[in-house]
Chains A and B, each alone.
Chain A
Amino acid sequence: MTQHKSERIMNLAICLLMSRRYLEKTRIREIVEGYHDLSDAAFERTFERDKDELRTLGVPVETGSNDAFFPDEVGYRIRREDFELPAIDFTAAETAALGLAATVWESATQAGQTTSALAKLRAAGVDPDPSRLAALAPTIAAREPAFDAVWSAYVEQVPISFGYRGETRQVEPWAMTSRRGSWYLLGYDRGRQEPRMFKLARVDAAVSRIGKPGSYHVSETVDMEAAWARLEPAPAEDVAVVALRVGRAHDLRRRANPHPAVVPAGFEAFAVGYSYLGDVVAEVCAHGPDVVVLEPAALRQAVIAQLTAVAEGVTR
C-alpha cells in the first residue's frame, strides 16, 4: 500500500514539475500512473490527499489557470525555481562545520531533520569531510517535556496555549534559544498583549494548538537580540576592590584588573566589576578565606554578614 502510494505521489510530483503550464485535473488523471483505475469520487479524494501531502512535505504545488478568460478552469504545477534548493557555494571549512552540525542534536526528531538536511546538501554536491573537526563534539539536548510540542509550533508558526507557573498563557512563538542547556521561548503573549520570554522547563507538557499553521506573523520590529541579551548577566556597573590569595580564585582573577591597594603578604589586590550585590556576595563568600573585600563598604558589610551566618550556623 505504502509502496503504491509513494509511487503515485512521486509520479505526480515529477509530472507537475515537468509541466510549464497549469495541468488540469482531468489531464493529470489521464497521464499519472495510479489514477486511471479509480472511480470519479475515489480519484477526487485521492488526488486531493496526494496534493495536500506534497504541500505538507514542503513541495510548492501552485494552483492557477492558463486562460485569462476562463479562470475557473483550475490547474496545478510546481515551479522548478521554487522547488529546487538553490546552488550554494561552500568553502571546505564551511562544509566541515556543516558535517559536524549533523551530529549535534541528541533528540531523535531534530537529529533526523539535520540528517535529511545534510542528505539534501550531499545530493546538491556538498560533501563534508568528517575527519576535519574530529576533535570537536558539540551537542544540544532537549529534555524539557514540552520541547517537541513547542518546537513544532515554532517551526510551523502555530499559536499555542500552555500552563506556566499555574497560569494558562496563549502565545505566538517567535524564536527559541538554548542557553547553558536550558531552552527558552520568545513569543507574543496574547493575554498580556506584549512579547514575553518563557523557560521551557517551566512550561507544562500539555501544550495545545489554538490556531492554524502560519496564522500569525513574527514581529519584525521587536529586537530579538535585546530580548536574548536579558538572559545574560547585566553588564558590570560597580567595581569592587578585592584581595586574592596568591595562586587562588583564578575565576575572579580572569575578569579582574590589578589594583594598587596595599594588602597583607600572600595576597594581591584586584579591581573586579559586578552588576548585582547579591551575586558578588555569594561568589566572594564561596572562596572562603581566599578572597577579602576591601571596598566598597556596603559589599564588605554584606560579605561579613553572610560569613557570620555560615560560621554561626543555622543548624546548630
Chain B
Amino acid sequence: MTSAEQVSRLLALVPYLQRHPDADVDTTAATFGVTGKQLLADLNVLWYCGLPGGMPGDLIEIDFEAIDAAGRIRLSNADYLARPMRFTPDEALSLVVALRAVAELVGDDEGEAVASALAKLEAATGAPALPKVAVAGGEAEVRDVLSAAINADEMVEFDYTDAGLQPSHPVVSPARLLVRDGIGYLQAWSQERADWRTYRLDRIVGIARTGQRRSQLGEPPVFDPGWFERSESALPVTLVLEPAWRWMAEYIPVQSVTEHAGAIELQLLVADPAWLRALILRLGAGLREIRPAEVADSARAAAAEALAAYRAG
C-alpha cells in the first residue's frame, strides 16, 4: 500500500463517512475495496489530520470507542472535506468503458438510463466518452423481453440455432444475461432437460413470454465457456489451413497454432461434431488437411447432398 493510494482513498473516505453517519466497518471497507484492517489504519491516519495549526479542536474527530464496541464509524469536524475529489482520468475512462459494457447487455428500456448516465458523467467530469464497447449481444428487443420475463418471473420460448447450426425451440425459465469475451449469453433453466442451459443471445430469434410462471430457481452455475473443451468426449483435431486463413485462429477456441511449410496448423478440441461440420464447410478449399481424416466425413456428405440440390434445380 503506497501513501499515494492511501491519500487518494482518504480524500474520498472523509466525505463518505460524513454522508453515511454510523457507517459499518465491513460495508465501508468493501465500498473502498480494502480490508477492514486497512480501513482502521486509514482512520488512524485521519486521527492526526485536520486544519493547519494542529490545535486539538482543529483535528478530525473519530469515535474509536464506537468502532470497538459496535463496528460503527463516527467521523466529525471535517466540514471542509464535504465532497470527494474529481475523478482521475483513469477512473473516468474505466467507468465509461464499464458503463458502455452495461449498455450492450441491457435492452432499449434500461439503455436510455445508461446513455443519460454517460452524458451526465461526461458533462460533469469532462471525461471524453470516446472509448467504445461492442458485444455480440443480439437484438435489444430480445434482451428487453428476457429482462421483462425475469422481472415478471415468467418463462420464455424462442427459436434457437446452435453453434453447429442445429435448430431448436427451447421453452425455458430465464435467469441471467451475461457477457464473456465479447459475447452475450442467456443462462436459463430447462424444465424438459432438468438442467441449466446456456444460449448465445445473437442466435435467439422469435422470442416471446409464455405467460407461464418461471420455475423456482437457485443461482445459475458459474458460467465457464471453456467447459466443452474439457468434456471427456471432446476429440483432438488438427486443421492445416492456407496462410490466408490465419485469422481463423483468433475466432475459434484453439489450443495451439504453429506455422510450417507455408501453412497454418491449428490444434483444437471438438465436443460438437455439428460445429466441426459447419466449420469444414465454411473453410472450403482453405482447409488443406484435417486429422483424423474421418472427422470430415459428415461435412463431405453434407456438401454432396447440397450439390445434388443444385444439380436438381
Interface residues of A (CB under 8 A from B): 2-3, 5-7, 9-11, 13-15, 17-18, 31-33, 53-54, 56-59, 82-91, 93-98, 100-102, 104-105, 110, 112-125, 133, 135-141, 152, 154-156, 174-182, 201, 218, 224, 228, 231-232, 247-251, 253-254, 264, 281-283, 285-292, 294, 300, 303-304, 306-311, 313-316
Which of B61-69, B106-114, B229-237, B265-273 lies at the interface?
B106-114
Q: Is the CB of A315 within 8 A of B296?
A: yes
Q: Is the CB of B289 within 8 A of A85?
A: no
Q: Is B51 an interface residue (CB 8 A)?
A: yes
Q: Is the CB of B117 within 8 A of A124?
A: no
Interface of B is mostly: helix
Closest 7 CB pairs of A and B: A181-B182, A288-B302, A93-B113, A181-B181, A180-B182, A123-B16, A113-B94
Q: Is B180 an interface residue (CB 8 A)?
A: yes
Scoring B97, B161, B283 by chain A CB atoms within 10 A of each residue's CB, the highest score goes to B97
Per the CB 8 Å criterion, the residue count for chain B at the interface is 123
Q: Is the CB of A7 within 8 A of B45?
A: yes
Q: Given A6-B3, A137-B179, A138-B104, are A250 and B167 also a contact pair (CB < 8 Å)?
A: yes
Chain A residues, CB < 8 A from B112: 93
Q: Is the CB of A310 within 8 A of B84?
A: no
Interface residues of B (CB under 8 A from A): 1-4, 6-13, 15-16, 19-20, 31-33, 41, 44-46, 48-54, 80-81, 83-95, 97-99, 101-106, 110, 112-114, 116-117, 120-121, 124-125, 128, 130-136, 147, 150-151, 159-161, 165, 167, 174-183, 203, 205-206, 223, 250, 277-285, 287-290, 293, 296, 299-300, 302-310, 312-313
Chain B residues, CB < 8 A from A18: 51-52, 80
Q: Given A56-B4, A124-B83, are A250 and B49 also a contact pair (CB < 8 Å)?
A: no
Q: Is the CB of A314 within 8 A of B313?
A: no
Chain B residues, CB < 8 A from A96: 113
Q: Given A94-B116, A117-B92, A177-B133, are A307 and B7 also a contact pair (CB < 8 Å)?
A: no
